[in-house]
Amino acid sequence: MEQNMQVLEYLQKKAALLPRTPGVYIMENKEGTVIYVGKSRALRNRVSQYFHGSHDIKTSRMVSHVRDFRYITCDTEMESLVLENNLIKQYTPKYNILLKDAKSYPYIKVTTDEEYPRIVMSRKRGEKGLYFGPYSNTKVIGNIISTIEKTLGIPSCKKKFPEDIGRGRPCIYRQIGRCCGVCTGAISVQEYNELIQCAIQMLRGNTREVERALEERMGQAAQQERFEEAARCRDVIAALHRLGDRQKTQLSPDTDCDVIALSSHEGCDCAAALYIRGGAICDSEYFMFGADEITGAQAYNEEENLPGNAGEDSPFAAFIVNLYRCREYIPKEIYFPFHLRKMTDKLQSLICLSVQGKRFKSVHRYEESRGICAKWRSETQCGTV
């Protein structure tokens, strides 16, 4: 006990000597191993808080293992946020939130460099093509690609075009109307690429635009007595309507947003993200945090107990940055169904700047965001999403 008091006194005195400038602090245990990395706009204030007063269970556990700390001063808060993320990746500290490496996330790739582009899954983004994602797992990608192929009649076989056009008999999918029949020469390169453009718009969540374009094309084809092409457009429009009927949310069809929730129960923290495109939930992702990973979830659930700078220095800010750093598309609105009033406009600007220069608007309307989550849960249980 006496030794612990001596350590605590040493840490308190050392923290009191820190500068009141932006920077990153690095906590170490008795073996000198880095166990936690954090950032602050005022190092002395933030680090001193760890060694005074009471904390939640996870933070108290981390502090009990701290025997020393280092710090690196930065010129700006932006610099400290970037440095914090880099150090977390370098040391993988026990008490920090650690996300899956972006390289392991799957993407949907459209091979736009080919004469007859294909829609495939890819884990690499270095090759030529148009990429969408990343998505939470390969099953989600499989369902999306299958839905697009069925809706637009894009071939799902392994034939290579134009080499295999006219070779062999068409497959069963062509016979039952599930494929546009590129292998038979039934459609031109231009028509096929128009279907691929429709697929790209669907992947971007612009289903309404696809419908309008197809309706216009169907009318023109009918006027010019190209009835087979008009019938194909009609069938695709009908398939899009059926797809929209299966994907119901409480949002308008032109809504693109993300919903992020963070919850804590008996020492177990979980974050969930719903990705909504074109008014429909296209993907969801869960992040279960271990007993030692500090998320600040309990503090968010009890906003009145937050210290003045808790939102700005929260480890959840680093989580959001890492979550969106590897994403191609970031919506204009991100819903947080918990209190973020302590997370100032300055911190939101830092997050925006660090995510590939893209900006978003933080929205914390509790009833609306919680309603989205409740709607999603009910539809998932009914199997409609």
Cβ proximity of 239 and 151 under 8 Å: yes
Q: Which residue has the tokens 């697929």?
A: 199
CA distance 301 to 219: 55
What does the radius of gyration of the chain's CA atoms come to, in whole angstroms? 26
What does the pLDDT read at residue 103? 53
Question: Per-residue pLDDT for 340 more than 80?
Answer: no
Mean pLDDT is lowest, of 124-133, 239-248, 255-264, for: 239-248
Q: Report the interhelical angle of 315-325 vs 345-354 (nearest 10°).
A: 30
Mean pLDDT over 93-115 rounds to 79
Q: Which range, 8-22, 231-245, 299-313, 349-363, has the best average confidence (pLDDT)?
A: 8-22
Predicted pLDDT of residue 107? 84
Handedness of CA 46, 47, 48, 50 (dihedral sign): positive
Q: Which of 99-103, 136-140, 324-328 has the lowest mean pLDDT?
A: 99-103
pLDDT of residue 310: 44
Section 96-102 average pLDDT: 68
Residue 248 tokens, joined: 């119901």
pLDDT of 183 > 60? The answer is: yes
Mean pLDDT of the chain: 76
Short-list 114, 112, 163, 180, CA closest to 171? 180
Query: What is the distance in angstroms between the CA of the first residue and the CA of the last residue of the chain?
Result: 56
Taking only the tens place, the pLDDT of each residue in 48-94 is 999 998 888 888 999 999 999 999 998 877 678 778 878 888 888 99
Q: What is the pTM of this model?
A: 0.56
